[in-house]
Chain A
Amino acid sequence: MKMQSAWEIAEGVRKGSISAVEIVEEFFERIEKHDKEIRAFITVSKDSAIQQAKEIEKKRREKKLGRLAGVPIAVKDNICTRGIETTCASKILKGYIPPYDATAVRMLKEEGAVIIGKTNLDEFGMGSSTEFSAFFATKNPRNLNHVPGGSSGGSAAAVAKGLSAVALGTDTGGSIRCPSAFCGVVGVKPTYGLVSRYGLIAYANTLEQIGPIANNVIDAALLLSCIAGHDPHDSTSIGENKDYTKFNSSAKKLKIGVPRQYFGEGTQKAVSDAVWRAIKKLEGEGAEVEEIDLKSVGYALASYYIIAMSEASSNLARYDGLRYGFQDSSGARDWSTLFSKDRKAGFGFEVKKRIMLGTFALSAGYFDAYYLKAQKVRNLIIQDFQRAFKKFDVLMGPTMPTTAFKLGEKTVDPLAMYMSDCDTVPANLAGIPAASIPCGSSNGLPIGLQIMATPFEEGKMLNVAKTLEDILGVYAE
Protein backbone atom coordinates (compact mmCIF):
# COMPACT_ATOMS: atom_id res chain seq x y z
CA MET A 1 0.00 0.00 0.00
CA LYS A 2 1.50 3.29 -1.06
CA MET A 3 0.71 5.82 1.62
CA GLN A 4 0.09 9.39 0.70
CA SER A 5 2.29 11.65 2.75
CA ALA A 6 0.87 14.59 4.66
CA TRP A 7 2.63 17.18 2.56
CA GLU A 8 1.31 15.59 -0.63
CA ILE A 9 -2.24 15.62 0.78
CA ALA A 10 -1.94 19.28 1.80
CA GLU A 11 -0.55 20.21 -1.62
CA GLY A 12 -3.30 18.29 -3.38
CA VAL A 13 -6.03 19.86 -1.27
CA ARG A 14 -4.62 23.32 -1.84
CA LYS A 15 -4.44 22.78 -5.59
CA GLY A 16 -7.85 21.17 -5.64
CA SER A 17 -6.69 17.80 -6.98
CA ILE A 18 -7.68 16.15 -3.70
CA SER A 19 -10.95 16.68 -1.84
CA ALA A 20 -10.46 17.17 1.89
CA VAL A 21 -13.74 15.39 2.62
CA GLU A 22 -12.81 12.42 0.43
CA ILE A 23 -9.35 12.02 1.90
CA VAL A 24 -10.71 12.19 5.44
CA GLU A 25 -13.37 9.61 4.61
CA GLU A 26 -10.70 7.38 3.12
CA PHE A 27 -8.81 7.41 6.42
CA PHE A 28 -11.97 6.61 8.37
CA GLU A 29 -12.52 3.62 6.12
CA ARG A 30 -9.05 2.39 7.00
CA ILE A 31 -9.70 2.98 10.70
CA GLU A 32 -12.92 1.00 10.49
CA LYS A 33 -11.11 -1.81 8.75
CA HIS A 34 -7.92 -2.05 10.81
CA ASP A 35 -8.38 -0.45 14.21
CA LYS A 36 -10.32 -3.43 15.52
CA GLU A 37 -7.03 -5.31 15.69
CA ILE A 38 -4.54 -2.47 16.24
CA ARG A 39 -6.68 -0.52 18.74
CA ALA A 40 -4.79 2.71 18.27
CA PHE A 41 -7.77 4.98 18.98
CA ILE A 42 -9.62 5.68 22.21
CA THR A 43 -11.98 8.11 20.48
CA VAL A 44 -12.74 8.56 16.80
CA SER A 45 -14.18 11.98 16.00
CA LYS A 46 -15.72 11.34 12.62
CA ASP A 47 -18.55 13.89 12.68
CA SER A 48 -16.42 16.84 13.70
CA ALA A 49 -13.68 15.74 11.27
CA ILE A 50 -16.05 15.64 8.30
CA GLN A 51 -17.38 19.02 9.37
CA GLN A 52 -13.84 20.40 9.53
CA ALA A 53 -13.05 18.94 6.12
CA LYS A 54 -16.14 20.59 4.64
CA GLU A 55 -15.07 23.93 6.00
CA ILE A 56 -11.67 23.45 4.39
CA GLU A 57 -13.37 22.81 1.07
CA LYS A 58 -15.23 26.07 1.57
CA LYS A 59 -12.03 27.93 2.38
CA ARG A 60 -10.34 26.57 -0.71
CA ARG A 61 -12.72 28.54 -2.79
CA GLU A 62 -11.58 31.59 -0.85
CA LYS A 63 -7.94 30.53 -1.29
CA LYS A 64 -7.20 30.71 2.43
CA LEU A 65 -5.74 27.29 3.08
CA GLY A 66 -3.05 26.48 5.62
CA ARG A 67 0.04 24.35 5.43
CA LEU A 68 -1.81 21.25 6.64
CA ALA A 69 -5.00 21.74 4.63
CA GLY A 70 -7.09 18.59 4.84
CA VAL A 71 -4.39 16.51 6.50
CA PRO A 72 -5.92 13.88 8.82
CA ILE A 73 -4.16 13.96 12.16
CA ALA A 74 -4.48 11.78 15.24
CA VAL A 75 -3.87 13.40 18.61
CA LYS A 76 -2.57 11.57 21.66
CA ASP A 77 -5.28 11.46 24.28
CA ASN A 78 -3.34 13.48 26.85
CA ILE A 79 -3.57 16.61 24.68
CA CYS A 80 -6.70 18.70 25.17
CA THR A 81 -9.15 19.03 22.31
CA ARG A 82 -12.11 21.28 22.94
CA GLY A 83 -15.34 19.35 22.66
CA ILE A 84 -13.62 15.99 22.08
CA GLU A 85 -13.29 13.63 25.05
CA THR A 86 -9.75 13.59 26.44
CA THR A 87 -9.00 10.80 28.92
CA CYS A 88 -5.24 10.27 29.31
CA ALA A 89 -6.28 6.62 29.04
CA SER A 90 -7.40 6.87 32.65
CA LYS A 91 -10.70 5.98 34.26
CA ILE A 92 -10.42 9.13 36.31
CA LEU A 93 -10.87 11.27 33.17
CA LYS A 94 -13.38 9.04 31.37
CA GLY A 95 -15.96 11.35 29.82
CA TYR A 96 -13.90 14.49 30.35
CA ILE A 97 -14.56 17.07 27.62
CA PRO A 98 -11.94 19.83 27.75
CA PRO A 99 -13.34 23.37 27.68
CA TYR A 100 -10.37 24.54 25.61
CA ASP A 101 -7.89 23.48 22.90
CA ALA A 102 -4.23 22.86 23.62
CA THR A 103 -2.16 25.55 21.89
CA ALA A 104 -0.61 22.95 19.57
CA VAL A 105 -4.08 21.71 18.60
CA ARG A 106 -5.31 25.25 17.98
CA MET A 107 -2.29 25.92 15.75
CA LEU A 108 -2.89 22.71 13.80
CA LYS A 109 -6.53 23.61 13.25
CA GLU A 110 -5.48 27.03 12.02
CA GLU A 111 -3.24 25.31 9.47
CA GLY A 112 -6.18 23.24 8.24
CA ALA A 113 -5.36 19.88 9.85
CA VAL A 114 -8.34 17.65 10.53
CA ILE A 115 -8.48 15.90 13.90
CA ILE A 116 -9.71 12.39 13.27
CA GLY A 117 -9.41 10.98 16.76
CA LYS A 118 -7.61 10.57 20.04
CA THR A 119 -5.01 7.87 20.44
CA ASN A 120 -4.22 5.38 23.17
CA LEU A 121 -1.37 5.73 25.62
CA ASP A 122 -0.09 4.38 28.90
CA GLU A 123 -2.26 6.02 31.57
CA PHE A 124 -1.07 9.64 31.90
CA GLY A 125 1.97 8.73 29.79
CA MET A 126 3.35 6.44 32.48
CA GLY A 127 4.75 3.52 30.60
CA SER A 128 6.76 2.40 27.61
CA SER A 129 4.41 -0.06 25.95
CA THR A 130 0.85 1.36 25.94
CA GLU A 131 -0.13 -1.70 27.97
CA PHE A 132 -0.85 0.51 30.99
CA SER A 133 -3.82 2.14 29.30
CA ALA A 134 -6.83 1.77 31.58
CA PHE A 135 -8.93 0.78 28.57
CA PHE A 136 -7.00 -1.63 26.34
CA ALA A 137 -3.53 -2.32 24.97
CA THR A 138 -2.57 -1.14 21.50
CA LYS A 139 -0.80 -3.64 19.25
CA ASN A 140 2.25 -3.17 17.09
CA PRO A 141 1.05 -3.05 13.48
CA ARG A 142 4.30 -4.71 12.33
CA ASN A 143 3.60 -7.73 14.55
CA LEU A 144 0.40 -7.99 16.55
CA ASN A 145 2.01 -10.05 19.31
CA HIS A 146 4.31 -7.19 20.18
CA VAL A 147 3.82 -3.89 21.92
CA PRO A 148 3.87 -0.68 19.87
CA GLY A 149 6.03 0.98 22.50
CA GLY A 150 4.87 3.86 24.57
CA SER A 151 3.57 5.93 25.86
CA SER A 152 2.45 7.42 22.50
CA GLY A 153 1.79 3.89 21.23
CA GLY A 154 -1.58 4.74 19.73
CA SER A 155 -0.20 7.65 17.70
CA ALA A 156 2.78 5.68 16.36
CA ALA A 157 0.67 2.61 15.54
CA ALA A 158 -1.95 4.75 13.78
CA VAL A 159 0.66 6.42 11.60
CA ALA A 160 2.50 3.17 10.88
CA LYS A 161 -0.73 1.46 9.81
CA GLY A 162 -1.89 4.43 7.75
CA LEU A 163 -4.90 5.12 9.97
CA SER A 164 -3.76 8.72 10.17
CA ALA A 165 -1.44 10.74 7.96
CA VAL A 166 0.45 12.17 10.90
CA ALA A 167 0.00 12.29 14.66
CA LEU A 168 0.87 14.27 17.75
CA GLY A 169 2.61 12.47 20.54
CA THR A 170 4.15 13.64 23.77
CA ASP A 171 7.58 12.77 25.05
CA THR A 172 8.43 12.88 28.76
CA GLY A 173 11.18 10.24 28.78
CA GLY A 174 11.02 8.82 25.28
CA SER A 175 7.29 8.52 24.72
CA ILE A 176 7.46 9.77 21.12
CA ARG A 177 10.75 8.15 20.14
CA CYS A 178 10.18 4.72 21.71
CA PRO A 179 6.95 3.89 19.85
CA SER A 180 8.32 5.53 16.68
CA ALA A 181 11.30 3.15 16.85
CA PHE A 182 9.13 0.13 17.63
CA CYS A 183 6.62 0.89 14.87
CA GLY A 184 9.13 2.03 12.21
CA VAL A 185 8.08 5.66 11.89
CA VAL A 186 9.72 9.06 12.38
CA GLY A 187 9.27 10.75 15.77
CA VAL A 188 10.62 14.05 17.02
CA LYS A 189 10.93 15.25 20.60
CA PRO A 190 11.52 19.01 20.30
CA THR A 191 13.80 21.12 22.46
CA TYR A 192 12.21 21.85 25.84
CA GLY A 193 10.44 25.16 25.31
CA LEU A 194 10.03 24.99 21.53
CA VAL A 195 6.42 23.79 21.56
CA SER A 196 3.86 25.10 24.00
CA ARG A 197 2.85 22.70 26.75
CA TYR A 198 -0.46 24.52 27.24
CA GLY A 199 -3.11 21.83 27.03
CA LEU A 200 -0.69 18.94 27.38
CA ILE A 201 -1.99 17.18 30.47
CA ALA A 202 1.03 17.23 32.71
CA TYR A 203 2.90 14.12 33.78
CA ALA A 204 6.33 15.71 34.40
CA ASN A 205 6.43 19.40 33.52
CA THR A 206 10.17 19.97 33.29
CA LEU A 207 10.72 17.03 30.97
CA GLU A 208 7.93 16.84 28.45
CA GLN A 209 7.15 18.23 25.05
CA ILE A 210 4.53 17.69 22.38
CA GLY A 211 6.02 16.51 19.08
CA PRO A 212 5.23 15.01 15.67
CA ILE A 213 5.03 11.39 14.62
CA ALA A 214 5.07 10.82 10.85
CA ASN A 215 5.87 8.34 8.11
CA ASN A 216 8.69 10.42 6.72
CA VAL A 217 11.02 13.24 7.73
CA ILE A 218 9.35 15.91 5.58
CA ASP A 219 5.98 15.29 7.21
CA ALA A 220 7.53 15.39 10.67
CA ALA A 221 9.31 18.65 9.82
CA LEU A 222 6.13 20.14 8.37
CA LEU A 223 4.12 19.25 11.47
CA LEU A 224 6.82 20.61 13.74
CA SER A 225 6.92 23.88 11.79
CA CYS A 226 3.20 24.27 12.43
CA ILE A 227 3.30 23.78 16.21
CA ALA A 228 6.61 25.42 17.17
CA GLY A 229 6.72 28.90 18.56
CA HIS A 230 6.25 31.04 21.63
CA ASP A 231 2.97 30.83 23.53
CA PRO A 232 2.05 33.46 26.12
CA HIS A 233 0.08 30.76 27.98
CA ASP A 234 3.26 28.78 28.73
CA SER A 235 5.90 30.64 30.75
CA THR A 236 8.53 28.07 29.78
CA SER A 237 7.89 28.35 26.04
CA ILE A 238 10.54 30.33 24.20
CA GLY A 239 10.50 28.76 20.78
CA GLU A 240 10.66 30.64 17.52
CA ASN A 241 8.35 30.12 14.62
CA LYS A 242 10.59 28.51 12.02
CA ASP A 243 10.14 26.54 8.83
CA TYR A 244 11.93 23.21 9.20
CA THR A 245 11.00 21.89 5.77
CA LYS A 246 13.89 23.48 3.85
CA PHE A 247 16.42 20.69 3.63
CA ASN A 248 19.97 20.70 2.46
CA SER A 249 20.76 17.02 2.25
CA SER A 250 24.45 16.58 2.68
CA ALA A 251 26.56 14.72 5.19
CA LYS A 252 29.78 16.41 4.16
CA LYS A 253 31.84 17.67 7.12
CA LEU A 254 29.01 16.63 9.48
CA LYS A 255 30.54 15.84 12.86
CA ILE A 256 28.82 12.88 14.50
CA GLY A 257 29.52 11.82 18.07
CA VAL A 258 28.56 8.30 19.09
CA PRO A 259 28.38 7.89 22.88
CA ARG A 260 29.53 4.41 23.98
CA GLN A 261 27.02 4.53 26.85
CA TYR A 262 24.22 4.21 24.28
CA PHE A 263 25.41 0.72 23.41
CA GLY A 264 25.25 -0.74 26.95
CA GLU A 265 24.96 -4.40 27.86
CA GLY A 266 21.16 -4.51 27.41
CA THR A 267 21.48 -3.50 23.76
CA GLN A 268 20.53 -6.20 21.25
CA LYS A 269 23.22 -6.96 18.72
CA ALA A 270 20.81 -6.51 15.83
CA VAL A 271 20.04 -3.03 17.10
CA SER A 272 23.64 -1.88 17.51
CA ASP A 273 24.55 -3.43 14.15
CA ALA A 274 21.74 -1.61 12.33
CA VAL A 275 22.57 1.69 13.99
CA TRP A 276 26.27 1.37 13.19
CA ARG A 277 25.53 0.40 9.58
CA ALA A 278 23.55 3.60 9.17
CA ILE A 279 26.25 5.72 10.80
CA LYS A 280 28.87 4.15 8.54
CA LYS A 281 26.80 5.09 5.50
CA LEU A 282 26.85 8.70 6.62
CA GLU A 283 30.59 8.43 7.12
CA GLY A 284 30.74 7.15 3.56
CA GLU A 285 28.98 10.34 2.47
CA GLY A 286 31.65 12.48 4.09
CA ALA A 287 30.61 12.69 7.73
CA GLU A 288 33.22 12.56 10.47
CA VAL A 289 32.36 9.97 13.11
CA GLU A 290 33.89 9.63 16.54
CA GLU A 291 33.06 7.46 19.56
CA ILE A 292 32.82 9.40 22.80
CA ASP A 293 32.04 8.96 26.48
CA LEU A 294 29.03 10.57 28.14
CA LYS A 295 29.63 9.17 31.59
CA SER A 296 26.77 10.84 33.44
CA VAL A 297 24.27 9.19 31.10
CA GLY A 298 24.56 6.08 33.26
CA TYR A 299 22.79 7.98 36.03
CA ALA A 300 20.10 9.43 33.80
CA LEU A 301 17.49 6.77 34.38
CA ALA A 302 17.44 7.12 38.18
CA SER A 303 17.52 10.90 37.96
CA TYR A 304 14.74 10.87 35.39
CA TYR A 305 12.39 8.62 37.34
CA ILE A 306 12.83 10.53 40.59
CA ILE A 307 12.06 13.85 38.90
CA ALA A 308 9.19 12.50 36.81
CA MET A 309 7.51 10.73 39.72
CA SER A 310 7.92 13.71 42.04
CA GLU A 311 6.40 16.14 39.58
CA ALA A 312 3.67 13.62 38.74
CA SER A 313 2.70 13.18 42.40
CA SER A 314 1.89 16.89 42.51
CA ASN A 315 0.44 17.21 39.00
CA LEU A 316 -1.99 14.36 39.50
CA ALA A 317 -3.25 15.67 42.85
CA ARG A 318 -5.95 17.67 41.06
CA TYR A 319 -7.85 14.52 40.12
CA ASP A 320 -10.12 14.35 43.13
CA GLY A 321 -13.45 13.95 41.35
CA LEU A 322 -14.88 17.27 42.48
CA ARG A 323 -14.57 19.62 39.50
CA TYR A 324 -14.43 16.99 36.73
CA GLY A 325 -13.75 13.35 36.13
CA PHE A 326 -14.69 10.24 38.06
CA GLN A 327 -16.49 10.57 41.38
CA ASP A 328 -17.21 7.63 43.68
CA SER A 329 -20.91 7.28 44.40
CA SER A 330 -20.88 5.08 47.51
CA GLY A 331 -21.61 8.04 49.77
CA ALA A 332 -18.30 8.93 51.41
CA ARG A 333 -18.94 10.67 54.73
CA ASP A 334 -16.22 13.31 54.42
CA TRP A 335 -14.15 14.91 51.68
CA SER A 336 -10.93 13.06 52.50
CA THR A 337 -12.62 9.69 52.19
CA LEU A 338 -14.28 10.74 48.95
CA PHE A 339 -10.99 11.88 47.41
CA SER A 340 -9.29 8.64 48.46
CA LYS A 341 -12.07 6.55 46.94
CA ASP A 342 -12.15 8.55 43.70
CA ARG A 343 -8.41 8.08 43.31
CA LYS A 344 -8.51 4.43 44.32
CA ALA A 345 -10.97 3.58 41.57
CA GLY A 346 -9.78 6.21 39.09
CA PHE A 347 -6.06 5.44 38.87
CA GLY A 348 -4.37 2.28 37.68
CA PHE A 349 -1.71 0.54 39.74
CA GLU A 350 1.29 1.93 37.84
CA VAL A 351 0.00 5.48 38.30
CA LYS A 352 -0.61 4.89 42.01
CA LYS A 353 2.90 3.52 42.37
CA ARG A 354 4.50 6.54 40.72
CA ILE A 355 2.40 8.96 42.79
CA MET A 356 3.44 7.12 45.94
CA LEU A 357 7.12 7.15 45.00
CA GLY A 358 6.95 10.82 44.05
CA THR A 359 5.22 11.64 47.32
CA PHE A 360 8.03 9.85 49.08
CA ALA A 361 10.82 11.58 47.14
CA LEU A 362 9.41 15.03 47.97
CA SER A 363 8.86 14.28 51.67
CA ALA A 364 10.70 16.54 54.08
CA GLY A 365 13.16 13.91 55.29
CA TYR A 366 13.96 12.58 51.82
CA PHE A 367 13.82 15.64 49.61
CA ASP A 368 17.58 16.23 49.66
CA ALA A 369 18.48 12.60 49.06
CA TYR A 370 16.07 12.13 46.18
CA TYR A 371 14.53 15.14 44.44
CA LEU A 372 17.38 17.57 45.07
CA LYS A 373 20.00 14.93 44.30
CA ALA A 374 18.25 13.99 41.05
CA GLN A 375 18.11 17.64 39.95
CA LYS A 376 21.84 18.02 40.67
CA VAL A 377 22.65 14.92 38.66
CA ARG A 378 20.49 16.37 35.94
CA ASN A 379 22.74 19.40 35.88
CA LEU A 380 25.77 17.13 35.39
CA ILE A 381 24.02 15.49 32.47
CA ILE A 382 23.23 18.88 30.94
CA GLN A 383 26.89 19.86 31.28
CA ASP A 384 28.05 16.59 29.73
CA PHE A 385 25.89 17.21 26.68
CA GLN A 386 27.05 20.82 26.43
CA ARG A 387 30.67 19.62 26.33
CA ALA A 388 29.89 17.05 23.67
CA PHE A 389 28.08 19.55 21.46
CA LYS A 390 31.08 21.85 21.50
CA LYS A 391 32.71 19.25 19.34
CA PHE A 392 29.88 17.57 17.44
CA ASP A 393 26.93 18.67 15.34
CA VAL A 394 24.81 15.72 16.38
CA LEU A 395 25.03 12.68 18.61
CA MET A 396 23.76 9.31 17.46
CA GLY A 397 22.84 5.99 18.97
CA PRO A 398 19.97 3.56 19.18
CA THR A 399 16.58 4.93 20.22
CA MET A 400 15.73 1.76 22.12
CA PRO A 401 18.14 -0.96 23.24
CA THR A 402 15.85 -3.63 21.76
CA THR A 403 13.16 -4.08 19.18
CA ALA A 404 9.54 -4.15 20.35
CA PHE A 405 9.04 -6.68 23.13
CA LYS A 406 6.12 -9.06 23.40
CA LEU A 407 2.82 -8.02 24.94
CA GLY A 408 2.92 -8.85 28.67
CA GLU A 409 6.67 -9.43 28.67
CA LYS A 410 7.55 -6.58 31.02
CA THR A 411 4.33 -5.67 32.78
CA VAL A 412 5.14 -7.70 35.89
CA ASP A 413 8.66 -6.33 36.39
CA PRO A 414 8.52 -2.55 36.74
CA LEU A 415 12.28 -2.06 36.79
CA ALA A 416 12.75 -4.00 33.56
CA MET A 417 10.17 -1.74 31.91
CA TYR A 418 11.90 1.37 33.29
CA MET A 419 15.30 0.16 32.02
CA SER A 420 14.09 0.14 28.43
CA ASP A 421 14.02 3.97 28.58
CA CYS A 422 17.76 4.21 29.22
CA ASP A 423 18.64 5.73 25.82
CA THR A 424 15.74 8.16 25.57
CA VAL A 425 15.60 9.86 28.98
CA PRO A 426 18.95 11.71 28.76
CA ALA A 427 17.59 14.04 26.05
CA ASN A 428 14.59 14.91 28.24
CA LEU A 429 16.79 15.66 31.23
CA ALA A 430 19.03 17.86 29.09
CA GLY A 431 16.08 19.47 27.33
CA ILE A 432 17.69 18.88 23.91
CA PRO A 433 15.93 17.89 20.69
CA ALA A 434 16.01 14.21 19.72
CA ALA A 435 14.52 12.28 16.83
CA SER A 436 14.06 8.62 16.05
CA ILE A 437 14.12 7.42 12.47
CA PRO A 438 13.87 3.86 11.15
CA CYS A 439 17.24 2.31 10.25
CA GLY A 440 16.46 -1.33 9.63
CA SER A 441 14.69 -4.29 11.18
CA SER A 442 15.20 -7.55 12.96
CA ASN A 443 12.72 -10.44 12.64
CA GLY A 444 10.23 -8.12 11.03
CA LEU A 445 10.45 -5.60 13.86
CA PRO A 446 11.75 -2.10 13.14
CA ILE A 447 14.88 -0.58 14.64
CA GLY A 448 15.13 3.13 15.41
CA LEU A 449 18.20 5.35 15.20
CA GLN A 450 18.30 8.32 17.53
CA ILE A 451 19.71 11.71 16.54
CA MET A 452 20.28 14.36 19.20
CA ALA A 453 21.26 17.97 18.72
CA THR A 454 21.91 21.08 20.73
CA PRO A 455 18.88 23.14 21.94
CA PHE A 456 16.82 24.72 19.14
CA GLU A 457 18.89 23.02 16.42
CA GLU A 458 15.91 21.02 15.17
CA GLY A 459 16.76 22.27 11.68
CA LYS A 460 20.18 20.70 11.76
CA MET A 461 18.84 17.51 13.36
CA LEU A 462 16.09 17.07 10.77
CA ASN A 463 18.53 17.78 7.96
CA VAL A 464 20.63 14.83 9.14
CA ALA A 465 17.48 12.73 9.49
CA LYS A 466 16.49 13.59 5.92
CA THR A 467 19.96 12.74 4.63
CA LEU A 468 19.75 9.38 6.34
CA GLU A 469 16.23 8.76 5.06
CA ASP A 470 17.40 9.56 1.52
CA ILE A 471 20.10 6.90 1.93
CA LEU A 472 18.03 4.26 3.74
CA GLY A 473 14.53 4.92 2.39
CA VAL A 474 11.42 5.02 4.51
CA TYR A 475 10.64 1.93 6.53
CA ALA A 476 9.09 -0.86 4.51
CA GLU A 477 8.02 -4.26 5.71
Chain B
Amino acid sequence: MKGISREDVRHLAWLAKIELSAQEEETLSKQMADILNYFKILDKIDTKSIEPAYHVREVKNVFRPDEPRKANPDEILKLAPAKKGRYVKAPKIV
Protein backbone atom coordinates (compact mmCIF):
# COMPACT_ATOMS: atom_id res chain seq x y z
CA MET B 1 0.00 0.00 0.00
CA LYS B 2 1.21 3.46 -0.89
CA GLY B 3 1.22 6.15 1.77
CA ILE B 4 -1.70 8.43 2.48
CA SER B 5 -1.41 11.62 0.48
CA ARG B 6 -2.85 14.96 1.48
CA GLU B 7 -5.36 14.49 -1.37
CA ASP B 8 -6.45 11.16 0.13
CA VAL B 9 -6.85 12.78 3.52
CA ARG B 10 -8.94 15.57 2.02
CA HIS B 11 -11.21 13.17 0.15
CA LEU B 12 -11.73 11.04 3.25
CA ALA B 13 -12.42 14.16 5.30
CA TRP B 14 -15.01 15.23 2.73
CA LEU B 15 -16.67 11.82 2.88
CA ALA B 16 -16.60 11.88 6.69
CA LYS B 17 -17.73 15.53 6.81
CA ILE B 18 -14.92 16.73 9.02
CA GLU B 19 -13.25 20.03 8.32
CA LEU B 20 -9.52 19.70 9.02
CA SER B 21 -6.91 22.34 9.65
CA ALA B 22 -3.73 22.23 7.58
CA GLN B 23 -1.90 21.05 10.67
CA GLU B 24 -4.40 18.22 11.22
CA GLU B 25 -4.12 17.16 7.58
CA GLU B 26 -0.37 16.99 7.93
CA THR B 27 -0.38 15.00 11.17
CA LEU B 28 -3.12 12.71 9.95
CA SER B 29 -1.43 11.79 6.71
CA LYS B 30 1.64 10.76 8.67
CA GLN B 31 -0.10 8.94 11.54
CA MET B 32 -2.59 7.22 9.26
CA ALA B 33 0.22 5.95 7.06
CA ASP B 34 2.00 4.51 10.14
CA ILE B 35 -1.13 2.79 11.38
CA LEU B 36 -2.10 1.43 7.97
CA ASN B 37 1.43 0.17 7.66
CA TYR B 38 1.01 -1.70 10.92
CA PHE B 39 -2.24 -3.23 9.63
CA LYS B 40 -0.22 -4.85 6.83
CA ILE B 41 0.71 -7.51 9.37
CA LEU B 42 -2.56 -9.20 8.33
CA ASP B 43 -1.22 -9.79 4.81
CA LYS B 44 0.91 -12.56 6.32
CA ILE B 45 -2.10 -14.77 6.94
CA ASP B 46 -3.76 -16.74 4.20
CA THR B 47 -7.50 -16.23 4.58
CA LYS B 48 -8.65 -17.40 1.15
CA SER B 49 -10.81 -20.19 2.47
CA ILE B 50 -11.98 -18.36 5.59
CA GLU B 51 -15.41 -16.80 5.93
CA PRO B 52 -15.63 -13.36 7.54
CA ALA B 53 -17.08 -13.30 11.09
CA TYR B 54 -19.47 -10.39 10.58
CA HIS B 55 -21.53 -11.58 13.49
CA VAL B 56 -19.79 -13.22 16.40
CA ARG B 57 -22.88 -15.10 17.61
CA GLU B 58 -24.90 -17.16 15.18
CA VAL B 59 -28.18 -15.48 15.95
CA LYS B 60 -30.79 -15.37 13.21
CA ASN B 61 -34.35 -14.23 12.62
CA VAL B 62 -34.91 -11.67 15.33
CA PHE B 63 -38.11 -9.72 14.84
CA ARG B 64 -40.41 -7.24 16.47
CA PRO B 65 -44.20 -7.54 16.30
CA ASP B 66 -45.93 -4.93 14.14
CA GLU B 67 -47.56 -3.17 17.08
CA PRO B 68 -47.51 0.62 17.28
CA ARG B 69 -46.41 2.46 20.40
CA LYS B 70 -46.49 6.21 20.85
CA ALA B 71 -43.16 7.61 21.99
CA ASN B 72 -41.94 10.88 23.45
CA PRO B 73 -41.57 13.21 20.45
CA ASP B 74 -41.46 16.45 22.42
CA GLU B 75 -38.60 15.26 24.60
CA ILE B 76 -36.74 14.38 21.40
CA LEU B 77 -37.55 17.55 19.48
CA LYS B 78 -36.44 19.64 22.45
CA LEU B 79 -32.88 18.43 21.83
CA ALA B 80 -32.53 20.03 18.38
CA PRO B 81 -30.38 23.18 18.52
CA ALA B 82 -32.18 24.98 15.65
CA LYS B 83 -35.91 24.73 14.99
CA LYS B 84 -38.62 26.54 13.10
CA GLY B 85 -41.98 25.67 14.56
CA ARG B 86 -41.95 21.90 14.89
CA TYR B 87 -39.42 21.53 12.08
CA VAL B 88 -35.73 20.95 12.62
CA LYS B 89 -33.96 23.75 10.81
CA ALA B 90 -31.02 23.05 8.49
CA PRO B 91 -29.08 25.18 6.02
CA LYS B 92 -29.89 25.10 2.33
CA ILE B 93 -29.58 21.97 0.24
CA VAL B 94 -28.34 23.10 -3.20
A232-B18 in contact given A99-B76, A192-B57, A238-B57 (Cβ < 8 Å) = no
B45 touches A356 (CB 8 A): no
Closest CB-CB distance, A262 to chain B, in whole Å?
Answer: 18
B72 touches A99 (CB 8 A): yes
Query: Is there a chain B Cβ closer than 8 Å to A443's Cβ?
Result: no
A302-B38 in contact given A327-B81, A344-B20, A378-B52 (Cβ < 8 Å) = yes
**Cα separation A226 to B8 with both chains bound (whole Å):** 48
Q: Which residue of B lies closest to A456 (CB)?
A: B57
A residues whose Cβ falls under 8 Å from a Cβ of B: 96-97, 99-100, 192-193, 206, 232, 235-236, 238, 296, 299, 302-303, 305-306, 313, 317, 320-327, 332-341, 343-344, 347, 349, 352-353, 355-357, 359-360, 363, 369-370, 372-380, 382, 414-415, 418, 429-431, 455
Query: Is there a chain A Cβ closer than 8 Å to B22's Cβ?
Result: no
Q: Which residue of B lies closest to A193 (CB)?
A: B57
B residues whose Cβ falls under 8 Å from a Cβ of A: 1, 4, 8-9, 12-13, 15-20, 24, 27-28, 31-32, 34-36, 38-39, 41-45, 47, 50-57, 59, 62, 64, 72, 75-76, 79-82, 88, 90-94
A352-B24 in contact given A99-B72, A341-B19, A382-B53 (Cβ < 8 Å) = yes
Interface contact tally, CB-CB below 8 A: 165
Residues of chain B within 8 A (CB-CB) of A97 are 79
Residues of chain B within 8 A (CB-CB) of A349 are 24, 27
**Cα separation A373 to B47 with both chains bound (whole Å):** 7
Residues of chain A within 8 A (CB-CB) of B18 are 340, 343-344, 347, 352, 355-356
Residues of chain B within 8 A (CB-CB) of A380 are 45, 47, 50
A360 touches B55 (CB 8 A): no
B20 touches A335 (CB 8 A): no
Residues of chain A within 8 A (CB-CB) of B57 are 192-193, 236, 238, 431, 455
Residues of chain B within 8 A (CB-CB) of A353 are 28, 31-32
